[in-house]
Amino acid sequence: MKTLVLFLLGLLSLRPGSTVAADNQATPDGKPLLDVVVRSLNGKEEVNLHARYHGKVVLIVNTASKCGFTYQYDGLEKLYASYKDKGLEVLGFPSNDFGNQEPGSEQQIQEFCRLTYGVQFPMFAKTRVRKGNADPLYERLGNIAGEYPAWNFHKYLIDRDGKLVASYSSFTKPDSKRLVTRIESML
């Protein structure tokens, strides 16, 4: 019941998608938006997102394995496979912030994603995404977008210059015409 209530409260704050103002890109430390270090899901590597993905179009998604939106892994993988050679990167950040829907270990998450959905796009360590308790990347994204994820599978779209250009609710599927058209225009 608690999960249903949290989900319904999250729905009240969801917008179908919003564009982020170009002049609203400042981070508190003055560094580029993606200038944060995160750990890969397999734990073998620490990655500076700016150094690794600058010059790419990046879609950042908070994921969960036991969510009503988990099927979006399939669409995210298809999107990644279709556009990675043109410069798209899909980055997954598992989070257990909503309804305890990502309770597994990082190894369990990695196996689930690979075996169930054939996920090849980069996945990173479990992340906190909620306002007031967000990890540094999501703190930056939430502040610049003016909205934090209200549920799992919220999407942030970043252009080749490292600027956040749009934020999409969980209801925006990876094959949404609006999202795909925007990505194609940036590639």
SS3 per residue for 102-149: CCCCHHHHHHHHHHHHCCCCCEECCCCCCCCCCCHHHHHHHHHHCCCC
CATH code (residue 41): 3.40.30.10
pLDDT at 2 > cutoff 70:
no
Looking at the domain assignment, is residue 3 inside a domain? no
> What pLDDT was estimated at residue 43?
86
Looking at the domain assignment, is residue 1 inside a domain? no
Of residues 140, 181, 129, 130, the one with CA closest to residue 163: 140
Of residues 173, 158, 149, the one with CA closest to residue 79: 173
Which is the catalytic residue, given 57, 59, 60, 67?
67
User: pTM for this one?
Assistant: 0.89
Residues 50-109 pLDDT 10s: 999 999 999 999 999 999 999 999 999 999 999 999 999 999 999 999 999 999 999 999
Looking at the domain assignment, is residue 11 inside a domain? no
Looking at the domain assignment, is residue 12 inside a domain? no
67 carries an active-site annotation: yes
Looking at the domain assignment, is residue 166 inside a domain? yes
User: Which residue range is the domain that position 90 belongs to?
Assistant: 17-186
Find the range with the poorest average confidence among 14-28, 135-149, 150-164, 167-181. 14-28
| Residue 161 dihedral angles phi and psi, to the nearest 5° | -90, 5
Task: Kindly state the tokens that stand for 74.
Answer: 């399939």
Say if CB 172 and CB 178 are below 8 A apart: yes
Looking at the domain assignment, is residue 178 inside a domain? yes
Q: How many domains does the chain have?
A: 1
